[in-house]
Every structure is written in structure tokens, then in C-alpha cells.
Amino acid sequence: MQVQIAVIDFGGQYSQLIVRRVRELGYFAKLFLPKDLREVGRPAAVILSGGPRSVSEESAPDIDFPYLESLEVPVLGICYGMQLLNLKHGGQVSPCHSREYGPAQLRPCEKNGLFAGLSESSQIWMSHSDTVSHLPEGTAVLGENQEGVPVALRWREGWFGIQFHPEVTHSHEGTQVLQNFLAMAKEPPRFEIQSFRDEMIADLKERIGDREVICGVSGGVDSTVLAVLLKRAGAKVRPIFVDHGLLRKDEGDEVVANFREMGIEIERVNVRERFLDRLAGIDEPEEKRRRIGDLFIDVFWETAQNVQLLAQGTLYPDVIESATSGSDASRIKTHHNRVDRILELQKEGRVIEPLAELFKDEVRALGKSLDIPHRMLYRHPFPGPGLAVRVPGEITEDRLRIVREADAIFIDNLRKHGWYDRVWQAYAALIPVNTVGVKGDERSYEYAISLRAVISEDAMTADWVELPYSLLGETSNAILNSVPGVNRVFYDISTKPPASIELE
């Protein structure tokens, strides 16, 4: 898709979120580094993101301003982007006396254009340490904060700057601001998943031809949508399912049955004993992850053998992280990639990533358009290392059994009481400490189980779910009465941060 809304990333923590918000409004947007501005093509509009640096620094990120002007499209600078544009137009920016972070009030000076439809006073979210100290001649102030300080500017027709972040939910009418800006673009590119799907299928048919396509599947959303999309494109797809024995109760059989329901036969490689042998006696968390990841990759490539084409379920956030975060990003999904082998295939043009322009919610929308059942698309995220993440310390058959049984009881109760789809992720984890209890007429020294249920938008933050006491009580009783080796059940009420959650 050639025409797009170009979001220029100056390193701001909300840069991805700007792209998401634009797409939620129905427009196609992509993220670019400032140095790649000339590769954007002919965008319908340009948004300059915020960033952690000061525009006054000697090595501060810059933009090719003459080229930006030559595009002759609407431009919106957010926070750092606003300050940079003010400098480029001949103004000045100075350090604040103290960093401004948190809520403020926007009071529009005019109720049309960028601020059409906004309230007389609207909450906005600030995060900056510099401020505009001198306005270029001809600059219009479009909005002020509660202290009368300019927080929204227009330097010329179609060129705007705002000191606040409209992309975060804390800016209560920020979405309307973005919508007003995008409405100024000439023929802005619409983003509709059905047409996007049709374009992808046509492209895949042309690129794949009669070659076999190998892909790894786990039963998760990304790999499921990937395999079904390839099948819909008429590809000779060979899905490989590495069953490492660290799955939830009956999950391996369910994955096979789910794909069969979609008309896809998957190749299940049962290597449970190999993984348990590799993990025997290991209790250090990162070493466990490394061993699982290395063996997973080895088994996949042993099974794949001669690869004509490899399909990966890479999503847009992964692409962004790889492009903007350097080597750190490559460690995020080490259990999915063997870099040298992938690079070799990429150089030969034999790696395809059909989902690489989509966010997770868009992948689910794509899956729905492919008639994938709801229960497959909204399965709770499950980490690649599987139950090893939920069993601190050494992995043993008995510990895996305890977690599987407790987790199955918890998830079944969430489904039964209508809570499963209201929770982003829920699971049971082992607390590998013997606690004193009483079973029958005797003392018991057995493990404790921790239950966790969270809500989250993007996995960057999460809050615990206030499940009904009746549901928690029923779950606790069922676990204590039917799972040997457990005599205590806790409910985890930690937020992220400072605690964590599991990722796929």
C-alpha cells in the first residue's frame, strides 16, 4: 500500500501507540525513523512523535525539513515533534524549571479545525522537560493550559504542534484531535481488514506459486491465523507443531483438533522426553529458557529439513522493535528464531512474513474475516517456554502435573462463570515451597498454588482482575480437594509494573 499516514519516530514511548490510534480511526499508518523520511513515498499526512531527548542537545534527532515541506501535506508535531517544528520555523525552545508529567487542562482558543468538537476544557496528558519559549512571527496559538501557557500551535496552513499526547487514554479527547487532523489530509488511505486480507492473499499466491511453505504452529493466535491465511491462498503449507511436553492439560490434542476443524493437518512432533531430560536438575530461570529455546529450534529444523519457503508470524511491533531498538529487540523471542539460519533464508528471499504490518488486534480481526472460531482467536496468551515459566525451580513430572491440573480447574471455572473472555490472561503457577496444612487427621507439607488473572491492552502494563469471591472460593476448594500435592491457594493481586505477566 503506497499511500499512508507516516509517523516519524523520535524515540518516544508512545510512538507505536500513535500508529495504533490512527489505524483504529480507520486509516493506514506506519512508523518510520527520521533518517528514512525520503523512503516514505507520498504520504497523505505526517505525524512527528514525541521523544526522550531535548531538541537543544547537539546530537538531538533531526528531520529533513526542506523535504518535509516539499511533500505539501498536513503535518502534526507531538511534544518533541512540536518543539522541533518550532525551531525549524525560527522559534526557540528552552528547558522547563521542572519536568511536566501528568494531567493538565487544554483550553482551546478556537473550536474549529484541529479542536473541532472539543469541550471548553479537556484533560490532556503531558510528558516533557522543554517548552516553547519564543514563537516565530505569524504563529497562531490554538490552545493553552490552565495557566495560560500555549500548548497547541499552528505555524502555517496545515502545520500544527501540540505539547500533549493525544494518543494516550489520559488525554480524554485526544482521539478527536487526531481525527480532526487526519480529516485535513487529501484522500487519506483507509484501512479495512477485508481489503487488506484480499491483497495479502493475492500477493501470497503470486509469491509462493507451487512451492511448499513451512511454518511453526503452537495454537496461539498469530501462528493459527498465519497457517489459515496460507491455506486460503492455496499454498502447500506444512505446519510443524513441536510438542515439548510443557503444554497445558490436553492442549496438544486440542491444537491438532482445532487445526483439523479448519481443514489443516499439522505435523505434531512429540519430543516431551527430550525436553525433560534437557531440563533435569536445572533451576535457574534464564538457563531453563535458554535450554528450551535452543532445543525447540533444533527440533524444528531437524523436522523441517529441506525448506523451500519459511513463513513466520512476525507482527508489526516486532518489526518496529527490530528497527528501532537494535540488538536488544532480537532477544525478545529467542525461542522462535535461530538468527543465522533465518538470515540465510532471508538473503535468498525464502522467508515470508504476511502479518508483519499488523498489530495483535488486527491479526484477530483478520482471523475473524477468515472464519476462524472465536475460541481460537481469543485464547489467552501462553509463553513459548510453556509451563516451565509457571514452575519456578527444577522442572519435574510431578510439578508439571500439579500446575496442569490446577490451571485446568481455574480456566474451566472462568469459562463456566463467563469470565474467560473478560480476562486478558489467567493461569495457575506453582509456589515451590512446602507449607504446613492439615489433610484428614494429619499434618501435610505440600506446595502452594498462585492464581493470577489480569487485564491489559498491550501487555506493557496490566492490572489484576477483581474476580468474585465465590468464583475464587469454588476454584480454591476444587484445587485443594482434587490436586494431590497442594494444600494452599493464593490469588495474586500485583499490577505490572512492578510485577510481570506472561507473554506469548
Q: What is the dihedral of CA 452, 456, 461, 467, to 10 degrees?
A: -40
pLDDT attached to residue 131: 79
pLDDT for 108 beyond 50: yes
pLDDT attached to residue 3: 72
Q: Which amino acid belongs to residue 22?
A: V
- Which DSSP string corresponds to 64-105? -HHHHHHT-S-EEEETHHHHHHHHHTT-EEEEEEEEEEEEEE
| Domain residue limits, the chain | 5-182, 210-377, 396-491
Query: Any idea which architecture 5-182 has in CATH?
Result: 3-Layer(aba) Sandwich (3.40)
Place of cell 499508518: 29
- Residue 349: alpha-carbon gap to chain centroid: 26
Residue 161 β-bridge partners:
77, 153
Query: Any idea which architecture 396-491 has in CATH?
Result: 2-Layer Sandwich (3.30)
Q: Which amino acid belongs to residue 190?
A: R
Q: Which residue has the higher pLDDT, 96 or 408?
A: 408
Q: Do the two domains 5-182 and 210-377 of this chain adopt the same fold?
A: yes
pLDDT attached to residue 321: 64
Q: Which amino acid belongs to residue 176?
A: Q
DSSP letter, residue 188: P
Helices (H), 157-279: 174-182, 193-208, 221-232, 251-261, 272-279
Q: Band of the pLDDT at 375, cuts 50, 70, 90?
A: very high
Q: Band of the pLDDT at 126, cuts 50, 70, 90?
A: confident
Question: What are 136-179's pLDDT values in tens digits?
Answer: 999 999 999 888 888 999 999 999 999 999 998 889 999 999 99
Question: What are 314-368's pLDDT values in tens digits?
Answer: 888 777 666 554 333 333 343 344 557 788 888 888 999 999 889 888 999 999 9
Residue 30 β-bridge partners:
6
Lowest mean pLDDT among 70-74, 143-147, 208-212, 473-477: 143-147
- Rounded Cα distance between 63 and 67, Å, is 9
Query: 210-377 belongs to which CATH class?
Result: alpha beta
Question: What are 403-459's pLDDT values in tens digits?
Answer: 999 999 999 999 999 999 999 999 999 999 888 888 766 778 899 999 999 998 766
Question: What are 226-256's pLDDT values in tens digits?
Answer: 999 999 999 999 999 999 999 999 999 999 9
Lowest mean pLDDT among 198-202, 204-208, 236-240, 331-335: 331-335
Q: Which residue has the higher pLDDT, 2 or 269?
A: 269
- Rounded Cα distance between 459 and 316, Å, is 15
Whether the link from the prior residue into 383 is cis, omega within 30° of 0, is no
- Rounded Cα distance between 241 and 255, Å, is 9
Residues marked active site are found at: 79, 165, 167
Compute the residue count for the chain.
Answer: 504
Lowest mean pLDDT among 37-41, 75-79, 160-164: 37-41
Q: Output b/e per residue, 447-456; b: 16+ Cβ within 10 A.
A: bbbbbbbbee
